[in-house]
Chain A
Amino acid sequence: EAAVTQSPRSKVAVTGGKVTLSCHQTNNHDYMYWYRQDTGHGLRLIHYSYVADSTEKGDIPDGYKASRPSQENFSLILELASLSQTAVYFCASSDRDWGGIAFGSGTRLTVL
C-alpha cells in the first residue's frame, strides 16, 4: 500500500543538539513537504521539494534545512535545536496531477 512513513515517531532532543527527521514515500510522487503543527498556528510549511536533489523554502524555513537525495526520501535537519522547535512535524507528498497531499503519521519532537 502506498504510504508516507516518518521516523522516528517521537524524539526528545537537547537544546543545541542536531536532529534529523526522516521521511520515505512509496506513492511515486514528485512533490514532498515538511510541515510543523502547533496549537494556535495550525500547519505551517517549512520546506518542500519538486524533484530529487532540489529543495525550496516554505513559509518558516529559519532554523531548518532539508535534503531530498532521491524521489522517495526527504529529510528535515535541525542543526541547532531550540526550545521553540518543539512541535509535531508532518511529512507529506503529492503528485503532478494535483490530487491533494497525503500526510505521514507525524513526528512529535520535544526539545529540552
Chain B
Amino acid sequence: QQKVQQSPESLIVPEGGMASLNCTSSDRNVDYFWWYRQHSGKSPKMLMSIFSNGEKEEGRFTVHLNKASLHTSLHIRDSQPSDSALYLCAASDYGSSGNKLIFGIGTLLSVKP
C-alpha cells in the first residue's frame, strides 16, 4: 500500500476555476510535506512545502496541513492552462530518515480553456 496517497487520480477544471488536490500519509511519524509539479516530459519542480499546522499561501497556490490527520491539500485558484501537469505530494519522517522523501502517485490536472 502506498504510504502517501493522493486523490483524485485525475482532475479537469475550467480555466479560471479552482483546483483542489488531496494527500494523506499513512505513516504516523511523517512531519514534513512537499508539493511538486511535473509538466509532461519534464522533471518534478518543487512548488511549496509545509511543516506546521495551518495554511500557507504563495500567489495563486494555497497549501493546508492538518498534522493530526496527516492530511495536506493544495488549492490552485484562477487555474490556467499552463497549470496542467502532474502534481506530486511527498512526505518525510525527518526525525528518523533525514532527507528521504516518499512520493505519492500524483494527481493529473487538466485545465481546459
A residues apposed to B, CB below 8 Å: 31, 33, 35, 40-45, 48, 50, 58-59, 90, 94, 96, 98-106
Contacts and interface: CB of A to CB of B under 8 A. Distances in A.
Contacts, number: 47
A101 B99 contact: yes
B49 A48 contact: no
B100 A100 contact: no
Contact of A31 (B32, B99, B103, B104): B99
Contacts of A40: 105
Interface of B: 2, 32, 34, 42-46, 49, 88, 90, 94, 98-106
A42 B49 contact: no
A43 B94 CA distance: 19
Contacts of A44: 103
Nearest to A42: B105
30 contacts: A31-B99, A33-B100, A33-B101, A41-B105, A42-B2, A42-B104, A42-B105, A43-B88, A43-B90, A44-B103, A45-B100, A45-B101, A50-B98, A59-B102, A90-B44, A94-B99, A96-B99, A98-B32, A98-B94, A98-B99, A99-B49, A100-B49, A101-B46, A101-B101, A102-B46, A103-B44, A103-B45, A105-B42, A105-B43, A106-B43
